[in-house]
Amino acid sequence: MPTTSQMRWLAALCLSVWLLPAFPATAEGPIAVIVSPSHARSLKKDDLVLIYKRKKLYWADGGKVQPVNLPASSALRREFSQAVLGASPEELEKYWNDMYFHGISPPYVLSSEEAVLRFVAETPGAVGYVPFCSAAGRANVAFVISPAGHISEEVSGIECGK
Amino acid sequence: MFQSMRLPLLGLLLAAGMASAGEDFPLADYQPGHGWRVPGTGVRLGGYASAGFQNDRHEPWKVGANDLSLFLWWEGQGKLKLFSELDLENALAYEQGNGLTARHAYLALERLYADYLYSERVNLRAGKFLTPIGRWNVIHADPLVWTTSRPLITEHTFPTNATGAMVYGTLPLLGRDVDYSLYTALGKEWRPDPKLDPFEEAYGLHVTVPVSAGAEIGLSYANFEQRSSASERKNLLGMDYFWSRDRYEVSAELAYRFSENGSRSDEKGLFVQGVMPLSERWYAIGRYELYDRAGPSRVMNLGVLGLAMKLSPALIFKAEFSRAANNTIRAPEGLFTSFAILF
């Protein structure tokens, strides 16, 4: 029989495991949804879900939409996924398996925010997301996703430290 | 053996070979469950495989390969997409009393179609595709479903494949993104599976409406004739439901098929399935099905209890036990296990 002390340790261990964050810490600050210069005015808020679920594949001018993601372990990806698609990358695994069965692949994954910035700047029809302050002056910001998950077209008034 | 599908397949391969997509995507690495893109082309290869042990109380036990399915598709920079799926069913098995055998092997042409992806609202498809009735039939691959056995109403009440044309897409309706497919099957089925009774003629509609976070409801309607009973016009009404949250899942389908031949020709049924996570990888599955076959037979009840282990998003091991009451059609009953992979 375990002693009272052992039981306390066990309870403390269970509690600490339960309280451990299941995922990496959240990204800090707002997220900028960025779009290639060729389609800076084409992206609508309602399109984001369809684009990142690969249901909208073309822009109105017939060009291909080329969405990119950060790795599933990225805190920024998790926040974007929750805010836009209402689900974590893990919760969307079934969706992507089902889509694969129909020959539809998920958005390409780029390994870093810098890679996303470059890809979107250089690829016609590209859409991505990076920390707002990384995008400032380097990319066309279509929307801003606040830390609370609110998606807005209003980009003014957000300050970035040096 | 491959006479009826030689021409369409040849066309697909020629189109794939001639066209170079010229894509400049930065990542083209292989990943299980995502397929492999042939470098420098718009051609992608993928598929799934499953093998397992079946101890059906109506048949000798057997262990073997259930499916080896190959997807081959091509997508260039334009709006045309070609997709094919060939499935080698029951390729090899060791059967109680018969030893090693390939006598049940069959190469099925599951899908072969061309899509013109006009916009998210309207896309056109022509060729052989999975009949969009309910949810299970259009995602029936072993790695995508939780049980080795399949609910009866998802394959007995209608032909699972159609050769014809389809319009499909996603429409904004009352603030929701509603998926729809409107289809018709006309003419001869491409390489019909001899075990199945294909459409002689059909038209139908399926819509899926998101109803809340993680939940959606689908509605199906089809009007059709089948080859074995071409003079009997059948109507099918169906409903499907799917909900998932925190790895829990509930899904259900209902089908009611009726015809002008009277109520003795009616066929109806429903199933409800629940999935509960037990640990990071293990899941418990329970399913109840009620199936009322056309004709004088009594209503059949079928229960399934199972376990599944998700080794990765693309790999799953399943084990289940099923029992039925009034099983006049000798639907599979017993112990079934399988291992399935998306590749």
Residue B223 is predicted with a pLDDT of 97
Cα dihedral B136→B140→B144→B145 (10° resolution): 60
Q: Is A31 among the domain residues?
A: yes
B303-321: pLDDT as tens digits: 999 999 999 999 999 999 9
Residue B231 is predicted with a pLDDT of 86
Residue A8 is predicted with a pLDDT of 55
**What CATH number did the domain enclosing A101 receive?**
3.40.190.10
Cβ distance B94 to B78 under 8 Å?
no
Residue A6 is predicted with a pLDDT of 55
Q: Do B77 and A64 touch (CB under 8 A)?
A: yes
Q: Is A14 among the domain residues?
A: no
Sheet of A108-109, strands arranged across: A108-109, A66-69, A126-131, A31-35, A140-145, A151-152
Q: Is A159 among the domain residues?
A: no
Q: Which percentage of chain A shows pLDDT scores above 70? A: 81
Residue A27 is predicted with a pLDDT of 58
| Count of pairs with CB atoms under 8 A, one residue in A, one in B | 68
Q: Which helix (H) or strand (E) holds B95?
A: strand B93-95
Residue A22 is predicted with a pLDDT of 38
pLDDT over 70 (residue A76) = yes
Query: What contacts B172, CB < 8 A, 6 or more positions away?
Result: A46, B178
Residue B69 is predicted with a pLDDT of 98
- Per CB-CB distance under 8 Å, the chain B contacts of A105 are 34-35, 44
Domain span at A129: 27-152
Query: What contacts B283, CB < 8 A, 6 or more positions away?
Result: B146, B247, B275, B276, B277, B307, B308, B309, B310
Query: What is this model's ipTM?
Result: 0.88
Q: Is B315 among the domain residues?
A: yes
B26-52: pLDDT as tens digits: 445 688 888 999 998 999 999 999 999
B93-145: pLDDT as tens digits: 999 999 999 999 999 999 999 999 999 999 999 999 999 999 999 999 999 99
Q: Do A50 and B120 touch (CB under 8 A)?
A: yes
Q: Is A141 among the domain residues?
A: yes
pLDDT over 90 (residue A26) = no
**What CATH number did the domain enclosing B174 receive?**
2.40.160.10
Domain span at B334: 112-342
Tell how strand B282-292 and strand B300-312 pair up: antiparallel
Cβ distance B79 to B49 under 8 Å?
no
CA nearest neighbour of A101 among B34, B292, B166: B34
Quick check: A23 contacting B, CB < 8 Å? no
Q: Is A20 among the domain residues?
A: no
Residue A44 is predicted with a pLDDT of 86
Cβ distance B74 to B90 under 8 Å?
no
Is residue A11 very low, low, confident or very high in pLDDT (cuts 50, 70, 90)? low
- Per CB-CB distance under 8 Å, the chain A contacts of B247 are 91
Q: Is B11 among the domain residues?
A: no
Mutate to test the interface with B, among A57, A58, A81, A101 (most CBs of B within 10 A): A101
> Total domain count for chain B?
1
A122-144: pLDDT as tens digits: 999 999 999 999 998 889 999 99
- Sign of the Cα torsion A19, A24, A30, A31 reads negative
Average pLDDT over residues A101-113: 95
Q: Is B2 among the domain residues?
A: no
> Total domain count for chain A?
1
Residue B299 is predicted with a pLDDT of 94
CA distance B48 to B112: 17
Quick check: A101 contacting B, CB < 8 Å? yes
CA distance B145 to B77: 32
Nearest neighbour of A58 by CB, restricted to B79, B138, B177: B79
Average pLDDT over residues A147-158: 85
Quick check: A106 contacting B, CB < 8 Å? yes
Q: Which residues, given as ranges, of chain B have pLDDT below 70?
A: 1-29
CA of residue B229 relative to chain centroid, distance: 24
Residue A45 is predicted with a pLDDT of 84
Q: Is B156 among the domain residues?
A: yes
Residue B16 is predicted with a pLDDT of 39
Q: Is A13 among the domain residues?
A: no
Q: Is B82 among the domain residues?
A: no
